[in-house]
């Protein structure tokens, strides 16, 4: 595992290479909304080492596959199966160091809520670090926005509801 600064720099470099490829392939600028470990590192929210990129599928055309491949280990998350509020874009933070693509990371609160469905030890470790930096009232509102969704897969809603009491008790949300 390399140190966190190196990890941050290498993730920035990967996304800059993605931009260069998009330009080289003549692809119009497009937005990417990162969540998970890569977003935590890009936002300097946490310092856990990760090389995987998770971002939300906003109906990307197939031709972007050749650009995304440059990220190596990446996961395009289907909106209907991801624990996200419909308002995540309004809270997302644009990273200004990228000039061609619109690179966003989800807010700390949206990232926390997206992690509730798993609550594996590494998710809890991340949430422990994030929760002290975030707005608990907003986090609670986001949970409600997720529960109000009509387009979330039922199996995901059930799994989320299953973990929610554990989360609420641990973090007083």
> pLDDT tens digits, residue range 99-158?
999 999 999 999 999 999 999 998 999 899 999 999 999 999 999 999 999 999 999 999
Q: In the CATH hierarchy, which fold is given to the domain comprising 4-171?
A: Beta Polymerase; domain 2 (3.30.460)
Q: What is the CA radius of gyration of the chain?
A: 16
Q: What is the pLDDT of residue 3?
A: 59
Angle between helices 136-147 and 108-115 (to 10 degrees): 50
Angle between helices 121-131 and 154-171 (to 10 degrees): 60
SS3 103: strand
- Residue 51 pLDDT level (bands cut at 50, 70, 90): confident
| Pairwise CA distance, residues 166 & 160, whole Å | 11
Show the tokens assigned to 65: 């596959």
Does position 1 have pLDDT exceeding 50, yes or no? Answer: no
Mean pLDDT of the chain: 93
Show the tokens assigned to 56: 């939300």
Q: What is the pLDDT of residue 73?
A: 87
Place of tokens 């939300």: 56
The pLDDT of 6-19, averaged and rounded, is 92
Does position 48 have pLDDT exceeding 50, yes or no? Answer: yes
Closest by CA position to 89, among listed 50, 136, 35:
35
Kindly report, residue by residue over 56-92, the tens digit of the pLDDT: 999 999 999 999 998 988 999 999 999 999 999 999 9
The pLDDT of 32-39, averaged and rounded, is 94
Q: What is the pLDDT of residue 4?
A: 62
Closest by CA position to 86, among listed 156, 146, 133:
146
93: left (phi over 0), alpha (psi -120 to 50) or beta: beta
């Amino acid at each position: 595992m390399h140190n966190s600064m190196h990890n941050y720099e290498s993730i920035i470099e990967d996304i800059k290479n993605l931009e260069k490829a998009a330009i080289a392939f003549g692809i119009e600028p497009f937005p990417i909304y990162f969540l998970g470990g890569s977003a935590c590192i890009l936002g300097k929210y946490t310092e856990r080492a990760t090389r995987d990129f998770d971002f939300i599928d906003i109906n990307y055309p197939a031709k972007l596959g050749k650009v995304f491949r440059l990220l190596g280990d990446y996961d395009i998350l289907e909106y209907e199966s991801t624990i996200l509020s419909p308002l995540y874009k309004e809270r997302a933070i644009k990273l200004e160091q990228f000039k061609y693509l619109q690179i966003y990371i989800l807010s700390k609160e949206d990232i926390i809520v997206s992690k509730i469905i798993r609550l594996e030890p590494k998710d809890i470790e991340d949430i422990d670090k994030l929760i002290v930096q975030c707005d608990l009232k907003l986090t609670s509102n986001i949970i409600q926005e997720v529960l109000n969704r009509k387009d979330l897969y039922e199996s995901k809603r059930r799994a989320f509801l299953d973990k929610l009491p554990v989360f609420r008790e641990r973090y007083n949300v």
